[in-house]
Structure 1
Amino acid sequence: MTVLAFIIGVVVLVLGLAVSIALHEVGHLLPAKAFGVRVGQYMIGFGPTIFSRRKGETEYGFKLLPLGGYISMAGMYPPSPRAAEAEAEGRPPRRRRLFEAMIQDARVVNEETLQGDGADRAFYRLPVYKRVIIMLGGPAMNLILAIILFAIMFSGIGVQTATTTIASVNECVLPAGTSKTSCADGDPASPAAAAGIRPGDVIVSVDGTTVDTFAEASAIIQKSPDATIPVVVERDGARQTLRVTPVLATREVAAADGTTKTAEVGFVGMSARVAFVSQPIWDGPQAALDQTGRVVGIIWQLPARVYQTAVDTVTGAGRDPNGPLSVVGAGRLAGEVAATEAPILNRVSGMLALLGSLNIALFVFNLVPLLPLDGGHVVVALWDGLKRVWAKLTGRRAPRPVDATKLVPVTYIVVIALVLMGGTLILADIVNPVQLFD
């Protein structure tokens, strides 16, 4: 059953990734078509095509390697002046060095998209703001999907929270750090037991303050050692007021930064039932935005973090649980979440968190201002717009559109770097995976 659950988790992650990629490309496709750009292909994956169907002018399909996706728009780059001159003179474009060959190949592919009505419906002809909208549409879809997933997790399922319903009451007070697990004759009764608090009681207020969570009740109790305070509980539909005197005890308490620390606080000896509590609808989006900030920090330091991952893999050191992962690592975590011995809602919530985080990573990563990523195309469009504004302000003739094919060698370098970093992470996720559960 555990193996089957692990496989189901991996399959869910793969399907979730496919949906995320598909929606990312839809984010490009819809505004491109709305702005009149001719879109020749909408493909999920890379490599050989395994299925496709043409609808109108666009071919929709799937390719063998589900590691990304793309749409093919007419005229991503303006036509090359040299290519136009060569065509007019009836001679093929001249090829020279390696980088020149790369640039020329990109131009040849680009020229093919400008055949027919592609020249009039080319991407590069659009106003700058429309090009930016098209390129930001993909990452925006991933962010929207992440916000929806986190909203479902926080507000639809809820967050596991200690409720005001009492689960158990200690018979006595045992010293912190003791190995004893049961009470002996002479051990002092716990303040909760002495006050008559029973399992199933629902705490209504503590020391005159109405409480909605066990954490609120605990905070008041911890601040009231050796003081007798009233605790109103609801039992069998009726409210009762009990008087409790917390004892001073050394316990682990939550610090302001979310960590735990040891402190002497008031203690009564009772625990609460844990249940999923629905959070306000804005908590999910807020969590998604907080996660986005953390991912930005990871992406910004990605080369250094990948290098550290490689070092940890070679030396056998433990992986940083907040470090970068490959698709293999994400799939492995998904399998572990699905196979863990926990209630189904816990596992569903964990899968939603993983898929939401994955979409946030796609959102941030695609905004990196380097070609061939969406952020790189945004920078090219903005640079083109800036040149036009400057020409207008200085009374000069409108410049030619920015020829981004000149950046193809840089694009190849970026792609090679991404492949190397991806391969390093895949190897690390196989040999030295992140340990989600110890």
Structure 2
Amino acid sequence: MEVLIMAGQLILGLSILVGLHELGHLLAARMFGMRVEQYFIGFPPKVFSITRGETEYGLGAIPLGGYVKISGMIDESLDTAQMKAEPQPWEFRAKPAWQRLIVMLGGIIVNVITGIVIFVALTYINGDTYLAAKDARYGIVAHELAQQIGLKTGDRIVAINGKPHRDFNDVFSSEVLLGTNSTYTVERTGAGGAVERLTIDLPNDLVDKFSDKKSAPRFIEPIMPFEIGVVSKDMPAAKAGLKPGDRIVSINGRPTQYFHEVQQAVSVNKGRTIALGVQRGTQNLNLNMTVTPEGTIGFYPKSLLPVTKVQYTLGESITRGTERAFGVVYDNIKGFGKIFRGEVSASKALSGPIGIAQNLFGGVWKWDRFWFVTGLLSMALAFMNALPIPALDGGHSVLLLYEMVSGRKPSDRFLEAAQKVGMVILLGLMAFAIFNDVFKAVF
């Protein structure tokens, strides 16, 4: 069922974005009197189509893209026969270069607008809910990856790159993971109670380690006092009588106060029976249960750390939402820089449709997350299409800018060759991304 939910979200998100992207091309072409022959969401084989006026509208069976066929334009169809005839007034090639450039940029512009609208709407509706850095007062749990760079459980991160931070999750921000020579400033309490301040240098390839599915969730988390939130049915905790609102105060006689202490005590007792000391209101209970072979007992914690909630006005949401939308583009640029500098492995950093469905959408349909990921993908799609690769909008735009500056139009033969080269590059990248997704999922 989770697979169907992931696939459904991916297909719906991509269909919306591709449909709007191609609509941007169509509207721009119509604005300048160009004839649009086809508007399709999805690639062939054709599932359905209907003709209205001069345009055939349809759906393709492969929901990984779409296209608009504009008369007199060298595109994916490689319709060279049409290009041999004399240009007609309604054709793309008969229009001035500046009009053709606007048509090529139409899809990118619509995707940018879509991304901004989504981020502004989410910011206005949901505001921000976060754990303030000052409220992570008990310090951090440093897992193996964090320990490798010099952090310890109990450290308090008080600054990032020398500056105080507002949100605890800023420790995972793109400024840190995609930046260069980033640092944490931590306060560490020594054996005698003295507090020392240290600077921890972060390796420039830290984000590469985050791309490893085994390491990604094991870095830093706040030390968290908690109570029982949700108890999973048919698991040891439920069978033993653990209930929401309970507090686990000891395991096998050893006091526990924080969630990571409970996790550690349970994980080292896989398959064994453990005794939980539980506080339920004014009652103190002892519950015995057998830990699963995976090292769990079956409950979700409810954090007792205070949460900060901020609501924004419409004006504030427009500013903040726009910043977040363009932050996606900026992060993509920094990410590619990491890849080109060899600080990040392309096989770990790049994902295709399978990776996007698994890592971003997830197996539970949550509308807030769906629209957030769709907004993120809209900005990423705009960025990728703007790259100067033949067959992409950016590649076409570069050639049109050359024509506008030089006054010389590239020959149709050159444009056809560039389109073929671009299609080979894109198909190769798509094949690599899909194979990479399968490899990472299996291994």
TM norm structure 1 = 0.59
**CA deviation map 1:214-255 (0-9, x unaligned):** xxxxxxxxxxxxxxxxxxxxxxxxxxxxxxxxxxxx751342
**CA deviation map 1:84-124 (0-9, x unaligned):** xxxxxxxxxxxxxxxxxx99x65214347x7xxx7111112
Separation in 2, partners of 1:263, 1:299: 33
Q: 1:403 matched to which residue of 2?
A: 411
Q: 2:310 matched to which residue of 1?
A: 277
The count of corresponding residues between Structure 1 and Structure 2 is 296
Residue 61 of structure 1: CA displacement?
Answer: 0.6
Q: Which contiguous aligned blocks of 4+ residues in structure 1 show a shift greater than 6 angstroms?
A: 174-177, 300-307
Q: 2:145 matched to which residue of 1?
A: none
Separation in 2, partners of 1:386, 1:163: 52
Counterpart of 2:432, as a letter, is: T
Whether contact under 8 Å (1:298, 1:324) holds in the other structure is no
Residue 136 of structure 1: CA displacement?
Answer: 0.6
Given candidates 153, 168, 184, the residue that maps to 2:122 is: 153
2:109 is the alignment partner of 1:140: yes
SS in 2 for 1:338: coil
2:21 is the alignment partner of 1:24: yes
Q: 1:41 matched to which residue of 2?
A: 38
Q: 1:288 matched to which residue of 2?
A: 325
Residue 256 of structure 1: CA displacement?
Answer: 2.9
Separation in 1, partners of 2:36, 2:119: 32
Whether contact under 8 Å (1:107, 1:405) holds in the other structure is no
Matches within 5 A, 1:21-170: 21-76=18-73, 106-111=79-84, 119-162=88-131
Matches within 5 A, 1:6-405: 7-76=4-73, 106-111=79-84, 119-162=88-131, 251-257=155-161, 258-259=170-171, 261-263=185-187, 272-274=305-307, 276-279=309-312, 280-281=316-317, 282-299=319-336, 308-310=345-347, 319=348, 323-336=349-362, 338=364, 347-388=366-407, 401-405=409-413
Whether contact under 8 Å (1:13, 1:334) holds in the other structure is no
Counterpart of 1:26, as a letter, is: L
Residue 421 of structure 1: CA displacement?
Answer: 2.2
% same residue: 25
Counterpart of 2:83, as a letter, is: N
Separation in 1, partners of 2:331, 2:117: 19
Structure 2's unaligned 5+ residue stretches are 142-153, 162-169, 172-183, 196-223, 226-303
Whether contact under 8 Å (2:5, 2:363) holds in the other structure is no
Counterpart of 1:410, as a letter, is: A
Whether contact under 8 Å (1:7, 1:335) holds in the other structure is no
Separation in 2, partners of 1:419, 1:15: 22
Separation in 2, partners of 1:356, 1:110: 37
Separation in 1, partners of 2:430, 2:131: 41
The 3 A distance-change label for structure 1 pair 38 and 71 is same
Separation in 2, partners of 1:254, 1:434: 39
Counterpart of 1:262, as a letter, is: V
Separation in 2, partners of 1:68, 1:53: 19
Whether contact under 8 Å (2:338, 2:344) holds in the other structure is no
Separation in 1, partners of 2:139, 2:345: 43
**CA deviation map 1:291-339 (0-9, x unaligned):** 10121344577789899344xxxxxxxx3xxx22101111112452637
Whether contact under 8 Å (2:339, 2:345) holds in the other structure is no
Whether contact under 8 Å (2:32, 2:99) holds in the other structure is yes
Residue 155 of structure 1: CA displacement?
Answer: 2.4
Whether contact under 8 Å (1:337, 1:350) holds in the other structure is no
Counterpart of 2:66, as a letter, is: G
Given candidates 428, 432, 435, the residue that maps to 2:436 is: 428
Separation in 2, partners of 1:273, 1:309: 39
The 3 A distance-change label for structure 1 pair 324 and 357 is farther
Separation in 1, partners of 2:392, 2:140: 55
The 3 A distance-change label for structure 1 pair 126 and 407 is closer
Residue 17 of structure 1: CA displacement?
Answer: 0.6
Which of 1 and 2 has greater Rg? 1
**CA deviation map 1:334-380 (0-9, x unaligned):** 452637xxxxxxx4443333222211221011111232111122122
Counterpart of 1:27, as a letter, is: G
Counterpart of 1:144, as a letter, is: I
Separation in 1, partners of 2:69, 2:341: 33
The 3 A distance-change label for structure 1 pair 163 and 379 is closer
Root mean square deviation of aligned Cα: 3.9
Whether contact under 8 Å (2:391, 2:418) holds in the other structure is no
Q: 2:204 matched to which residue of 1?
A: none
